[in-house]
Amino acid sequence: MKLSALFENVPDIEIKSLMADSRTKRPDSIFFCVKGIMSDGHNFVDQAIANGAKAIVYSEPLDHMRDDIVYIKVKDVTAAFNAVADAFYGYPSHDLLMFGVTGTNGKSSISCIIRDIMNEIEPTGYIGTISIEYGNVKLPPLLTTPNIDDLHGILRDMVDAGMKSCALEASSIGIEQGRVDAIDFDVAVFTNLTHDHLDYHGTMEKYFLAKKKLFDHLKPDAIAITNVDDPYGMRIVKDCPARVITYGVNHKADYQVTKYQLLADKTRITLKIGDMEYEIETNLVAKFNVYNLVAAIAACHSKGISIEMMLPQIRHLKQIEGRMERIDEGQPFNIIVDFAHTPDGIEQVCQFASAITPKGKRIIAITGSAGKRDTEKRPQFGEILDRYTDMIILTEDDPRDEDPIEIAHEIAAGIKKTNYIIIEDRYDAIRQAVELADPNDTIIILGKGDEKFIYREFGREPYEGDDAIAREVLHKYYFTQEGEENEEK
Ligand SMILES: CC(=O)N[C@H]1[C@@H](OP(=O)(O)OP(=O)(O)OC[C@H]2O[C@@H](n3ccc(=O)[nH]c3=O)[C@H](O)[C@@H]2O)O[C@H](CO)[C@@H](O)[C@@H]1O[C@H](C)C(=O)N[C@@H](C)C(=O)N[C@H](CCC(=O)O)C(=O)O
Ligand SMILES: Nc1ncnc2c1ncn2[C@@H]1O[C@H](COP(=O)(O)OP(=O)(O)OP(=O)(O)O)[C@@H](O)[C@H]1O
């Protein structure tokens, strides 16, 4: 593409790629001097040129300028980057029915449910914490919401692969950093807002305002779908230019759950939409999935998909990897692997575990808390587990360069009455829980879900995933001689 197709009053040079990180090799590229948290892209112009930049987009004075490079001064580099990335990749989000999902918990779940429902109607992609998926392509994500260049590039690939819709998770950090500013959203969904990411945003109000930007920037013909039961649900759509649709259980809503029945392996819901009532059955479990499902139904229904068309799909939704995933290898106790890593998420899983665990049987919880992230939530984890569980195993969870044992002690500060042990190695912690479990007990493995890595001080270390380890441990240690003895306990 010609540089002149992207900027006015510039020479007609050929541009083959975009560059935000001077350390990456990008021949014939435009380098965008983005000011970040740690550093300022303006300091890396020489390296960017050495790695192939032919044009530099900047906002602050530069040390020196070369005759063979094009310099383009703008007011806001991130805004220019967004506009250029959108144009460079041929405005892919305009060719897709774009669903954006934001909120503290439930983004991946709702996005995956939307993807599964929509996929029955037309090819639909998904971008989020779990993966980047479209057609037969499944890629591991680096971020929940990809960086600007990557995001528009992925959407281009989706369009080229024949996708017609896409469900995208919009993290508060991603929104704050302008990663979705040039995405043409048709539907935006709000899940809920509870304590998380305060290390980044500072206060709940700033965290909320970051999420609100997604709704503030919607176009008038878009649809904003919000959870009326959440204290932030109506505030987030205040002054939103789009049409607002509400969903909820406890308050009057456009999509209102009037009854629900939570079972160990399925959920039944009565959903009222205007004068119509629908009986819905789904294989998703736990109360929070009532919200997630109804949010996804509202999103798809608002774009013309009839409820009748969705019903068969909803009954057999794909198990969302690592989210309330039941591990059933024939063992006589429950094992639930869940990605819960916020106080609210942990409480929701505990409530479900309490509902399915017979009286007199135990709930055994395994958890850690990520290093170098929102440390305030650690004792809260302990306090919640203390209320609901009978045995707690504290272990590592993405320690980064913190000591997992120290983190475990910070969680333990919230535990007042429940027995707990610290087992640093996550595999050993899962094995210990399996060895401790009696028939009809429930083990909840919290925090990492299906993630295939653990963040250590040097970066990502490959990890099997809690779900895979739970299965392996059952077969290796439980269904053995020792396991048979276990069953007789
Ligand atoms: C803490 C954080 O959010 N960091 C993000 C931020 O980086 P930053 O502001 O620190 O960037 P910086 O290092 O100061 O650099 C500023 C600019 O200079 C450039 N640079 C920097 C150094 C250099 O040598 N050369 C160079 O060109 C950088 O590419 C950047 O454009 O901006 C970068 C894009 O410009 C992001 O890639 C980066 O995400 C990092 C990798 C990250 O881990 N982010 C996490 C916290 C995140 O975004 N998580 C959310 C939420 C997930 C959830 O809900 O749990 C997500 O969407 O994944
Ligand atoms: N609607 C909800 N309300 C409260 N908790 C929820 C809800 N949906 C999911 N959870 C809990 O949060 C965990 C993460 O769910 P999910 O991955 O869907 O959220 P997320 O917003 O995508 O999180 P992240 O961006 O950190 O991946 C689940 O495993 C569950 O414990």
Predicted pLDDT of residue 96: 98
Ligand 2: residue of 262, 282, 339 to mutate (most ligand atoms within 8 A of CB) is: 339
Using H for helix, E for strand and C for coil, what is the string for 13-70?
CECCEEECCCCCCCCCEEEECCECCCCEHHHHHHHHHHCCEEEEEECCCCCCCCCCCE
Q: Is 273 in the pocket of ligand 1 (CB under 6 A)?
A: no
pLDDT of 358 higher than 60: yes
Predicted pLDDT of residue 396: 97
Predicted pLDDT of residue 263: 85
Q: How far is the CA of 447 from the centre of ligand 2 (A)?
A: 10
Q: How far is the CA of 410 from the centre of ligand 2 (A)?
A: 23
This prediction's pTM = 0.88
Tell me the β-bridge partners of 102. Answer: 190
Predicted pLDDT of residue 25: 95
pLDDT tens for each residue of 377-388: 999 999 999 999
Type of residue found at 37 = I
Q: How far is the CA of 135 from the centre of ligand 1 (A)?
A: 29
Question: Is position 331 annotated in a ligand binding site?
Answer: no
pLDDT of 485 higher than 70: no
In the numeric block, the tokens 């309330």 are attached to 324
Give yes or no for a contact between 334 and 413, defined as CB atoms under 8 angstroms apart.
no
Type of residue found at 261 = Q
Classified as helix, coil or strand, 367 is strand
Question: Is position 145 annotated in a ligand binding site?
Answer: yes
Task: Please tell me the distance from the alpha carbon of residue 479 to that of residue 118, in angstroms, as a whole number.
Answer: 40
Mean pLDDT of the chain: 94
Task: Please tell me the distance from the alpha carbon of residue 15 to that of residue 10, in angstroms, as a whole number.
Answer: 12
The atom of ligand 1 lying closest to the CA of 169 is 57
* Tokens found for residue 311: 């019903």
Q: How far is the CA of 167 from the centre of ligand 2 (A)?
A: 15
Type of residue found at 80 = A
Question: Is position 106 annotated in a ligand binding site?
Answer: yes
CA angle 153, 156, 162 (to 5 degrees): 145
Q: How far is the CA of 174 from the centre of ligand 1 (A)?
A: 9
Confidence at 283, pLDDT banded by 50, 70, 90 = very high
In the numeric block, the tokens 């209102």 are attached to 256
In the numeric block, the tokens 């580099």 are attached to 77
Higher pLDDT, 37 or 151: 151
Q: Percent of the chain at pLDDT above 90?
A: 88
Predicted pLDDT of residue 90: 97
pLDDT of 489 higher than 60: no
Q: Strands 124-127, 187-190: parallel, antiparallel or unpaired by DSSP?
A: unpaired
Task: Please tell me the distance from the alpha carbon of residue 388 to that of residue 397, in angstroms, as a whole number.
Answer: 21
Q: How far is the CA of 363 from the centre of ligand 1 (A)?
A: 39
Tell me the β-bridge partners of 1. Answer: none
Q: Strands 391-394, 419-422: parallel, antiparallel or unpaired by DSSP?
A: parallel
Mean pLDDT across 325-347: 93
Give yes or no for a contact between 183 and 217, defined as CB atoms under 8 angstroms apart.
no
Q: Ligand 2: list residues with CB < 6 Å.
A: 105-109, 129, 144, 169, 171, 191-192, 288, 291-292, 323, 338-340, 344-345, 348-349
Confidence at 480, pLDDT banded by 50, 70, 90 = confident
Tally Cβ neighbours within 10 Å of residue 239: 8
As to burial, measured by CB atoms within 10 angstroms (0-12 exposed, 13-18 middle, 19+ buried), residue 50 is: exposed
pLDDT of 60 higher than 80: yes
pLDDT tens for each residue of 95-117: 999 999 999 999 999 999 999 99
Predicted pLDDT of residue 131: 93
pLDDT tens for each residue of 384-439: 999 999 999 999 999 999 999 999 999 999 999 999 999 999 999 999 999 999 99
Question: Is position 179 annotated in a ligand binding site?
Answer: yes
Predicted pLDDT of residue 488: 44
- Indicate the helix (H) or strand (E) that contains 442: strand 442-446
Q: How far is the CA of 176 from the centre of ligand 2 (A)?
A: 20
Closest residue (by CA) to atom 23 of ligand 2?
Answer: 105
Give yes or no for a contact between 180 and 170, defined as CB atoms under 8 angstroms apart.
yes
Ligand 2: residue of 109, 142, 398 to mutate (most ligand atoms within 8 A of CB) is: 109
pLDDT of 483 higher than 50: no
The atom of ligand 1 lying closest to the CA of 39 is 14
Ligand 2: residue of 105, 110, 192 to mutate (most ligand atoms within 8 A of CB) is: 105
Tally Cβ neighbours within 10 Å of residue 280: 20
Mean pLDDT across 122-133: 96
pLDDT tens for each residue of 170-225: 999 999 999 999 999 999 999 999 877 777 768 888 889 999 999 999 999 999 99
Give yes or no for a contact between 177 and 137, defined as CB atoms under 8 angstroms apart.
no
pLDDT of 269 higher than 60: yes
Mean pLDDT across 79-89: 97
